[in-house]
Amino acid sequence: MACVKQHSRRQITVAIARTSTQNTPQAPDVPTTPPRPRGPPGMAQGSSEGMRRKYAQHLDADGQELLRRDQDEVELEKRELHKRATGNVSLIDVGVDASYAGQVTIGTPGQTFDVILDTGSADLWVADSQCSSSTCQSISLFTTTSSSTFSSTNQPFSITYGSGTASGVIASDTVSMAGFSVTGQTFGAVNTTSSNLISNPLSGLMGLAWKSIAQTAATPFWQSLASSGQWSNQEMGFYLQRWRGVTGVTQVEQSGGEFTMGGIDSSKYTGSVNYISIASGDTDYWRIPVQGMTVQNGSVSLSSPQAAIDTGTTLIGVPSSILSTIYANIPGSEAMSASTGYSGYYQYPCSTTVSVTLQFGGLSYSISNSDFNLGSFTRDTSMCTGAIFQMNLTRNTSVGNRTDDGDRSGNSPIQWIVGASFLKNVYSVFRYNPTAIGFAALTGNESSVTSGSASNTTSSSTGSGSGKSSSGASVREVGVLGLVISVAIAAVAGLV
């Protein structure tokens, strides 16, 4: 590597320039920095650089200048080696749009696993070979003893979801995804999980939210990459493919969409990305205010509730009071009773085509009827269940007694959770710096985005929105939202 430096690239450039200008008038000479004097190629060149480093304190002025150039070139090469424009991950769709997973590699040599990609949490964990839970019997497990770079802290790791827990030890190892790597990345090596927390082909979860809510208190994989300069663009993009309603769909579809790190995929969207800014004090969940909502063309009164934009969640969770207002706009809708096992959900006549829009950053985004209609869950097959359901959030994400849609007096920094039922209808972007969430119309679906009309609109610019954001309480105690709704709907609809 020592030979392939700026000098050899300069020689190639000059050779090409001479060839291309032989028959053209020559421009006047332009003063340039003289090329760096270099010794013989190969080992001698590397030796001279090594000697300069070794005897740096004894070098004269010329030697110090050569040493400085050595160091500059080393840093340049490091940046060029580590910096990539983008990296793409092909997603798999698990449980008919219930979860979206991508491939991660852990250890040396690398072991590969499919993990849920979850912007609603901040921890990476994977089931290891010590896992004796029933859910671990049919999935790929991480063999810690096969990795020469694995290290365990022996500190307990535990993470709680609405559907159960995963526990084990806090560990570190080399983690890679989309062509990027982080050495010594902290993660949970899980040896116990609740029944049905994960199932084949899933082996764990990759949290893509901010460090402030990480149960391990460690910097998440994505945040290490974004802050270290490995990305040329400090953002991530998601395209979630819809399989709901497709004839012959299976429980695991390999074409589930695309996750892009270090940039966005312009082929997946049309027009501009509408960025909604996030205040520096609000970097916990990826959250922005819901500025407005319509159901069946009727406006629903809101007071800018904070919504977590969550790729690890299937549906849309809202407080109980706003839930009844939403379904009041759908004729024939009714709350599902506790005796059905679906308390907190509403059903409505299957013959009704439901139109819903949510407004963010001054623009309104449509949710397709295919994503809103979950199908019939009861013996009355004329009634279908809606994708918006009751989720009252408190500090520990258990069901609390909040009855408002946006009152900031409660403990939780978020009041809504907006998952795949919405995100399948847009191209979504999560930007590290300047911090923002962005949405764009999917290619071929331009009409799904219209100008917003809510009276409490707080941002409407394309590319640099400034959505209102209020600081919330510390949320490390809030826990992880990622699988709460995914598993809830799996239990309700039998999708997984």
What is the secondary structure of 344-384 as a DSSP string?
T-EEEETTPPP-EEEEETTEEEEE-HHHHB----SS-TTEE
Tell me the average pLDDT of the chain. Answer: 82
Question: pLDDT digit string (tens) for 417-426?
Answer: 999 999 999 9
**Of the options 1.10.1740.10, 3.40.50.2000, 2.40.70.10, 3.30.43.10, the CATH number for the domain spanning 88-228:** 2.40.70.10
DSSP state of 178: T
- Give the three-state DSSP class for 12: helix
Quote the pLDDT of residue 487. Answer: 42
Higher pLDDT, 79 or 199: 199
| Residue 358 pLDDT level (bands cut at 50, 70, 90) | very high
Question: pLDDT digit string (tens) for 372-415?
Answer: 999 999 999 999 999 999 999 875 433 223 234 444 445 789 99
Please give the average per-residue pLDDT across 446-466, as a whole number. Answer: 57
Quote the pLDDT of residue 457. Answer: 37
**Rounded distance between C-alpha atoms, residue 357 and residue 278, angstroms:** 22
From 118, 128, 371, 405, the catalytic residue = 118
For the beta sheet containing 356-360, the strands, ordered from the edge strand earlier in sequence to the opposite edge, are: 298-299, 292-295, 356-360, 363-367, 449-451
Question: What CATH fold (topology level) applies to the domain 266-493?
Answer: Cathepsin D, subunit A; domain 1 (2.40.70)
% helix, strand, coil for the chain, step of 5: 20, 35, 45
Quote the pLDDT of residue 47. Answer: 66
Number of C-beta neighbours around residue 69 at 10 A: 16
Number of C-beta neighbours around residue 462 at 10 A: 15
CA dihedral of 164, 168, 169, 174, whole degrees rounded to 10: -90
Question: pLDDT digit string (tens) for 246-302?
Answer: 999 999 999 999 999 999 999 999 999 999 999 999 999 999 999 999 999 999 999
Q: Which residue has the tokens 């590597």?
A: 1
Instruction: Provide the whole-model pTM.
Output: 0.77
Question: pLDDT digit string (tens) for 30-49?
Answer: 444 444 444 444 445 656 77
Active-site residue flag, 405: no
DSSP notation for 180-231: EEEEEEEEEEEEEE-TTSS-TTEEEEEE-S-GGG-TT-PPPHHHHHHHHT-B
Count Cα atoms within 13 angstroms, Cβ side, for 148.
2
Domain ranges of the chain: 88-228, 266-493
Topology agreement, domain 88-228 and domain 266-493: yes
Check whether the bond before 305 is cis (ω within 30° of 0): no
Active-site residue flag, 371: no
95 burial (CB, 10 Å; 0-12 / 13-18 / 19+) is buried
Which backbone phi and psi does 400 adopt, to 5 degrees? -110, -160
* Beta partners for residue 349, in sequence order: 383
| Residue 328 pLDDT level (bands cut at 50, 70, 90) | very high
- Give the three-state DSSP class for 260: strand
pLDDT at 101 over 50: yes
Question: pLDDT digit string (tens) for 63-77?
Answer: 888 888 877 776 665
Total residue count of the chain as it appears in this document: 496
**Rounded distance between C-alpha atoms, residue 119 and residue 209, angstroms:** 5
Quote the pLDDT of residue 60. Answer: 86
Quote the pLDDT of residue 75. Answer: 60
DSSP state of 84: B
Question: pLDDT digit string (tens) for 204-242?
Answer: 999 999 999 999 999 999 999 999 989 989 999 999 999
From 70, 97, 310, 405, the catalytic residue = 310
Quote the pLDDT of residue 76. Answer: 61
Question: pLDDT digit string (tens) for 103-138?
Answer: 999 999 999 999 999 999 999 999 999 999 998 999
How many Å separate Cα 493 from the centre of its chain?
25
Inter-helix orientation angle 61-82/43-54, to 10°: 110
Beta strand 316-318 with 292-295 is unpaired
Q: Which residue has the tokens 């082929």?
A: 267
